[in-house]
Amino acid sequence: MFACAVLSARCYGAEPGGDKAVETRYATVYAPDRGALISFGRKIGAITFFNREDGKSEELIGERIDEIVGRVRTRLDMYPGGLSFSIRIFPTYVEIQAAYAAFGGVQKPPIAFYSHKVKGIYVSLPDLTDGVLAHEIAHAVICFYFVTPPPGKMQEILAQYVDRHLWDN
């Protein structure tokens, strides 16, 4: 089970640094540097031994993110219009702890979280997997799908389902 948090409307828009690195159909990815972006791509399966970094990293990462979003939407059978969010990559867990605290988080800081107020996913690079990213994307899809997002516990059940069954046929 992954640590996760959905931040409520009381959160404010803490915006960590990072240059826009990748634009996809659904997401804009921000990374502090190219090394973090490449590591992100490897962690989510966009950059592999067979398609090593060859100048097309951004394209591969964008395609993989959109593939994951598509699988999340299919698993949830939710296809909200206007789905658009940011993904911010933090090179260390300590940095995501600070971002979480800036949002007013008081519980144990998660390895990744989604804020619907700023429509942003925040991930700790060392802890990232495609499942963790899918879990947070599920929160985004759920929040965009419902006029009033469902309670956090209900979202968590659905997001955990997506995380576990992301690559099932």
Give the residue with greater pLDDT, 53 vs 142: 142
DSSP string, the chain: ----EEE-TT--------EEEEE-SSEEEEESSHHHHHHHHHHTTSS-STT--SS-HHHHHHHHHHHHHHHHHHHHT---TT--EEEEEESSHHHHHHHHHHTT--SSPPSEEEETTTTEEEEEGGG--HHHHHHHHHHHHHHHHSSSPPPHHHHHHHHHHHHHHTT--
Mean pLDDT over 106-126 rounds to 94
**Count of the separate structural domains present in the chain:** 1
pLDDT band for position 53 (50/70/90)? Answer: low
Tell me what the pLDDT averaged over the chain comes to: 87
Domain that holds residue 136: 5-165
pLDDT attached to residue 159: 97
pLDDT attached to residue 3: 41
| Torsion sign over Cα 42, 94, 35, 71 | positive
pTM above 0.75, yes or no: yes
* CATH number of the domain within which 23 lies: 3.40.30
Give the residue with greater pLDDT, 37 vs 13: 37
